[in-house]
Amino acid sequence: MRIRVVCKPKDRRFPLAYRMMISSLIKKSIETVDESYFREMYYYGEKKNKKIKPFTFSVFFNDYKIEKEEVMINGQVSIILSTSDYNFGIILYNGLLKLKSYFYKNNETDSYEIDIQRVILEKEKLINDERILCKTLSPIHIKDKTNKPVSIESNEFVDGLNYISNIALETIRGEGLREELKFTPIKNIKKVVAKEEITDFKQITKKRYIYIEGYSGSFYLEGNIEDLRMLMQIGLGFRRSEGFGLIDLV
């Protein structure tokens, strides 16, 4: 299930480290419709639940320029949300329709507000082949067992991709990968570094930003068709529910 949200910042300002703002918007949308479902997904008792989530997203700006820590936007912002969980998708969809606008404060001095103009259910592309040509809509982040980012040129990249894909599928559908994934990057794939402002990271390290390494571009992905279909819906790699790993067919 894919949802496109078209919105516009009220004063044309958008944070350069925007992924946590969109994560907050998603949480608020769910909580607005079903508070018990929200608490079940994001909390275990009074503690935050770090359970793997069944969704990912990406953000696109139209007619913009970057100024210091902000994006100045003359056009619109499009958010693409993708999930394998129909119930989650419907709750999110209805919540976005209800909100209409969203106010976000990411620290003591900075705040942002967006108007939600349209919420659109998009038609999903069908996968009927064990080898598909894909492109990233948000960077794919892979790390090793020590939490260090893995280079796409290393054999550890495919190992890490299989490891997290297996865990994600097992958590979401109750069954891990049916076949090992093969990942073949195309020449246009490149490394990107995203700067994000995450509360837990700031509290632990006393640093404002975390820098997350990922890869964007085109690649071939091979595996079991049912695995590929679900991975297309939930994304690839780590930090998917924080706006990484959304892919599409070329």
**Rounded percentage of the chain residues whose pLDDT exceeds 70:** 98
Residue 7 predicted with pLDDT over 90: yes
Given the DSSP bridges, would you call strands 77-83 and 2-9 parallel, antiparallel or unpaired? antiparallel
Lowest mean pLDDT among 23-37, 73-87, 161-175, 201-215: 201-215
* Same domain for 141 and 74: no
Which range, of 76-90, 99-113, 128-142, 215-229, averages the lowest pLDDT?
99-113
Kindly state whether residues 140 and 244 are assigned to the same domain.
yes
Q: What is the mean pLDDT of the chain?
A: 94
Is the same domain home to 112 and 146? Answer: no
- Are 112 and 140 in the same domain? no
* pLDDT surpassing 70 at residue 249: yes
Phi-psi region of 30 (alpha: psi -120 to 50; beta: other; left: phi over 0): alpha
At 206 the pLDDT is 73
Tell me if 248 sits within 8 A of 126, measured CB to CB.
no
Does 40 have pLDDT greater than 70? yes
Instruction: Give the mean pLDDT of 202-215.
Output: 83
Provide the number of structural domains found in the chain.
2
213-221 mean pLDDT = 97
Which domain range does residue 48 map to? 2-122
User: Where does the pLDDT of residue 108 fall: very low under 50, low under 70, confident under 90, or very high at 90 and above?
Assistant: low
Q: Which tokens hold the place of 232?
A: 């297309």
Check residues 22 and 49 and name the one with the higher pLDDT: 22
Instruction: Choose the final residue of a domain: 122, 141, 161.
Output: 122
CATH number of the domain enclosing 194? 3.30.70.1900
